Amino acid sequence: MTSFESSRVAEIHRELHTHLPSEPALRVKALESLLVEKGLLDSRTVDAWVEAYTEEIGPKRGAHVVAKAWTDPAYKARLMADAPAAIDEFGYLGGATSHLKVVENTDTVHNLVVCTLCSCYPFSILGIAPNWYKTAAYRARAVRDPRGVLAEFGVEIGDEVEVRVWDSTAELRYLVLPQRPAGTEDRDETALAGLVTRNSMIGTQRDLSPKTGEAS
């Protein structure tokens, strides 16, 4: 008769489930497959939209806005005073950014964005929200223990730096304006935009210094 070690079976079960898509992802895939089967949807269209939001619509748009603010003081002033209007100068304004506030990182302040109720996010300039942004763990702990959460992202914030947490809603969403890295004075907007990351505009990354050996 075959015998089973319960702890080993449980370990195998957990390991298998770590490689399975989440339940919402499975439901979306099933719905997509059904629509494709009925001829109502082309899977290539879905792939194209996902790629567009991931690679083109965002976060490159947000990076463009940040780089412009770094190099143009007048634009930065407009962005801080009226973010939707400043973003609309590039034609980037969307439903998720029509009520947007930009908060600036400084030597003494670091900003972190979260949505504690759901996952409100300025996708028209940042693209698709990362999975971790939507998890209950991030949404709860970012408010209770922001420094601990930042440490898990590899961001160590000294006691001399104030951490401000901004809670997004459907009516008001936030974009972090990261600090311009030192030693980038000779870089143009395009090169600077290449340094800006999605996480830096959420606040889970602080240092955007160019990597050693990277071409200017």
pLDDT, tens digit, 9 for 90 and up, residues 61-94: 999 999 999 999 999 999 999 999 999 999 998 8
Known active-site residue 119: yes
Known active-site residue 120: yes
Q: Which of 33, 119, 168, 200 is catalytic?
A: 119
Global confidence as pTM: 0.76
CB 150 within 8 A of CB 207: no
Known active-site residue 200: no
The span from the CA of 169 to the CA of 127, in Å, is: 17
Q: Which part of the chain is CATH 3.90.330.10?
A: 59-202
- Is pLDDT at 171 greater than 80 in this prediction? yes
Domain 59-202: which topology? Nitrile Hydratase; Chain A (3.90.330)
CA-to-CA dists, residue 183 to 12, 79, 162, 206, 208, angstroms: 50, 24, 24, 16, 11
pLDDT, tens digit, 9 for 90 and up, residues 111-162: 999 999 988 999 889 988 998 999 999 999 999 999 999 999 999 999 999 9
